[in-house]
Amino acid sequence: MKLEGLSILGQGRVTAAGKSYAAINPATGLAIGPDYFWATTADVDAAAQLAAKAFVEFRRWSGQRRAGFINRIAELLEANAAAIVERVTLETGLAAARLQGELARTCFQLRLYGQAAASGLCASARIDHADPNRKPLAKPDLRSMMVPVGPVVVFGASNFPLAFSVAGGDTASAFAAGCPVIVKPHQGHLGTAELVGLLVQQAACECQAPEGIFSLLYGSGREVGIALVKHPLVKSVGFTGSRTGGRALMDAAAARPEPIPVYAEMGSINPVFFLAGVMNQKPEELAAGLHASVTLGVGQFCTNPGLIFVERGNGADVFLQKLETLIAATASGTMLTADLCAAYRSGVEKFSNFSGVKRQAQSKADLGAGNAQAGAALFVTDAETFLSNHHLRDEIFGPSTLVVQCRSRAQMLNAANQLEGQLTATIHGLPEELQANHELVEMLATKVGRLVFNSFPTGVEVAHAMTHGGPYPATSDGRSSSVGTRAVDRFLRPVSYQNFPDTALPAELQESNPLKIDRLVDGKLIL
């Protein structure tokens, strides 16, 4: 498949014109061809117009037909896996084994969303039959279902070039809902975006989807991204990235004459709490597990554990000694881009200069030819310093973590109370310690989307019950999730039909249930 460096507009391509940008290999600093041409405001309008036109037809597709389209995307990704992995490796510096796993995850989640559409889970059909004899007022016939909101803009994430990108979870869940998608890919993996985008375009053609069901526009977030969010035909946005980027999109969407929701995942420090009982039993094992989680993928996971709480004691001392040894011996790694590496190094220096914070260990790392090599870092402070310096709750995106030493469980609880919204929080302890620390568990449940016990937060299972979200500022809307089948809810809205004749109802709500989907009928789930 030949790469041309051009945006995808429906079933065609955008003409090369204006500003261009080259993909960069972060390991070498060398450009990777071809040059990529930025879309224009006219291209933005054309993509939005096509998406709005496609929505008229796509929203009428049955769940089974949507599933067929989504499943075809997965099949094409698998058929072209070698070419995709080869390109992503060049653009990100990530290992081929990691990318093969991410591609498998991407295809699995595509099929999961297809299954959700086909089964009727996305429709969430509900029927309350009429009761004309009810007193004092007759009860009307009421039937409701979820319907798609309209064209969705998806922003590709830097740290997951496949699973949170062109055909990733946001795109797949929007398709499952019945929404056309316009993708603004991340500048860190331009060729990967084109490869995957062309396969989505192929699937759309093969499945006879309306033109405009999918477009992909290259450009900067400040220009093309904001223009997409402001376009009046766009009805929702999915974003994974920084708090600065997410807030800019939220503000632009809120300032529109017709405000729209932006579902932004904006970062998290994912606190981990080690209780004394388990710490005294296996401190070195816990240190090894934490080290593996902190340094996984050069720390470039949104669930990276960047903040650790321990109770002072002999077990905690052994834990810190082991963790220091492991961090110091960690091999340097290539970060996704030189800019991310620069931001990481800046964050490490900032923490190193805080009073009361000690840089306990740091592995050596030269910048390398691509200015993207990073080493792991370990910081240690006490609870008093942590509570008095809110900057110690800032995220350092990369392979570093801050250990906070607490004098008591009460002090640990106080520190937990000061935390902002997070994607995850983790508790390591003996089963009986959970009962003794129920206040900590309850406190953390108000601040996170996922509570983890005796494991580590890196690794987000794609499953119906998964929540990958959390209260602000982890996400813009703590009621949402970007992983699992609840992710589809972001791009749906409920509509009720009152006293409609059966023949005029959508198939999902007709009495005979012609689509054979799961429905809630008179308060009972009928399968």
Count, in order, helices (H) and strands (E) of the chain.
16, 23
Nearest CA to 360 out of 397, 390, 391, 405 is that of: 405
Residue 387: both structure tokens together = 């509570």
Cα separation, 183 vs 156, whole angstroms: 7
Strands (E) in 245-387, as ranges, are 262-265, 272-274, 307-311, 333-334, 358-362, 373-374, 377-382
Nearest CA to 70 out of 21, 118, 38 is that of: 118
Going from the C-alpha of 450 to that of each of 3, 36, 43, 461, 474, the distances in angstroms are 40, 38, 39, 11, 12
Angle (CA) 247-248-249 rounded to 5° is 90
Inter-residue contact 127 to 521 (CB < 8 Å): yes
Nearest CA to 374 out of 323, 435, 298 is that of: 298
Catalytic residue among 107, 122, 302, 406: 302
Q: Is 148 left (phi over 0), alpha (psi -120 to 50) or beta?
A: beta
Residue 343: both structure tokens together = 């931001």
Task: Specify whether 265 is catalytic.
Answer: yes
Cα separation, 472 vs 265, whole angstroms: 9
Across 317-346, b (16+ Cβ under 10 Å) vs e yields ebbbebbbebbbebebbbbbbbebbebbbe
Task: Specify whether 258 is catalytic.
Answer: no
Neighbour tally for 427: CB within 10 Å: 22
Catalytic residue among 194, 265, 311, 508: 265
Neighbour tally for 400: CB within 10 Å: 25
Helix (H, G, I), strand (E, B) or coil at 442: helix
DSSP 224: I
Residue 239 CB-half CA count within 13 A: 28
Neighbour tally for 18: CB within 10 Å: 11
The residues annotated as belonging to the active site are 265, 302
